[in-house]
Structure formats: C-alpha cells, structure tokens
C-alpha cells in the first residue's frame, strides 16, 4: 500500500497559528479562522531581498480584485515579526514593501514551511503558492526556486478557474481558460462539442 509523506492537492491544508504583521501591528493569525473563504498562501524566502518585494507588492496591488473573489492572501516567510514590521515600515523605493493590503506571517520556527513542504536545505521557504478553498482543501500548488518570481495574473486566472468548476461541477476548464471562454462538459459525448468548436 502506498503511503504519502507530504501534502498534495486535494488534501486538507495544514492548520497553523502564528504572529503576523498587518497595518503596522502584531496580530495572531489562525488559518482555520479563514474557513468559508478562499485563501492564497504566499511563501517566500526572506524579507529585504530582491525578487521577494516585487512579488509581495504585486499581490498587494492586486488585492482588491483578489478580495472581490471572496479570497484572502497570507504572505509567509521564516523571518521574525520584527523583521516583517521593519520591512513594511520601509518604502518601496528604499527596498521595503511599505503598507500592504494583507498580513505577513512569521514562520520563525519554520514549522509552517515544513508542513507545506517548501522549506529548503538552507532553512528558507521556497516560493510556494497554495490556493485553499472555502472548505480548507488545497486546490492548487505551485513551487518556484528562489531566483524567479510568480505571476499574479496567472494566480488570479487559476483562482477564477477553481471557483468556476466548483460552482459548475459538470464542467471543466481547458488550457488557458479565462472567464467568458468555453468550458468542457465532463461527459464523453457532450465534450465533443467543445473539441469540434476549436
């Protein structure tokens, strides 16, 4: 019998409780408090680095569109809450991230990164991105190495596809699907209509 040694899509997202920085204050975050909403977990290596601020601010700049889809974002790294606070107090032009529209979670113990299987041998979080649905189930997982960032637009597209198929369980989304484009009926006969149309 096969046994799993790590989490994967379709599993319950590991719960956690940790200190975060949001609106220049320390706040306790419990992932379980977000049940009933979609959540994007955004793991990143370290504060005060080079690629990380581009991702953190890009997701913050798109926060209104993301939150309009009943979705929250949590940024997570192995830095302390004091490091997060200092980073958010520094403006973007000086290498900081400034005020963000979502919390940065401190994973100083590295237990959250470990539970999501994104902790590398150097003790940093890889660029892991998880989309968790309203029931707390992981629907999407993407992990990049340290030196290249992720696409906010592709994350948004994926989130919309997840929500579409969950609201329309007899349909599936083809490659490069965008809202308003054709889907495929998950039936051998009806699926032909899609393939005949492309």
Active site residues per annotation: 52
Determine the 3-state secondary structure of 191 from DSSP.
helix
**Cα 65 versus chain centre, distance:** 14
What is the chain's alpha carbon radius of gyration, rounded to the nearest angstrom?
18
141 backbone dihedrals φ, ψ, rounded to 5°: -145, 130
Tell me how far apart the alpha carbons of residues 12 and 1 are, in angstroms, rounded to a whole number: 21
Tell me how far apart the alpha carbons of residues 44 and 139 are, in angstroms, rounded to a whole number: 19
Q: Annotate 45-91 with three-state secondary structure.
A: CCCCCCHHHHHHHHHHHCHHHHHCCCEEEEEEECCCHHHHHHHHCCC
């Amino acid at each position: 019998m096969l046994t799993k040694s790590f989490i994967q899509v379709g599993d319950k997202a590991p719960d956690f409780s940790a200190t975060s920085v949001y609106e220049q204050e320390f706040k306790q975050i419990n992932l379980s408090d977000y049940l009933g909403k979609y959540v994007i977990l955004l793991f990143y290596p370290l504060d005060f680095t080079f690629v990380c601020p581009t991702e953190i601010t890009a997701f913050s700049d798109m926060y209104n569109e993301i939150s309009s889809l009943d979705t929250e974002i949590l940024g997570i790294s192995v830095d302390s809450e004091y490091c997060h606070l200092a980073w958010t107090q520094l403006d973007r032009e000086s290498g900081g991230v400034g005020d963000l529209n979502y919390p940065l979670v401190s994973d100083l113990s590295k237990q959250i990164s470990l539970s999501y299987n994104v902790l590398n041998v150097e003790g940093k979080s890889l660029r892991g991105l998880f989309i968790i649905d309203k029931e707390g189930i992981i629907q999407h997982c993407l992990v990049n190495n340290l030196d290249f960032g992720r696409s906010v637009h592709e994350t948004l597209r994926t989130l919309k596809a997840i929500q579409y198929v969950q609201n329309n369980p007899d349909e599936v989304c083809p490659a490069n699907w965008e809202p308003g484009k054709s889907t495929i009926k998950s039936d051998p006969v009806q699926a032909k209509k899609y393939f005949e149309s492309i």
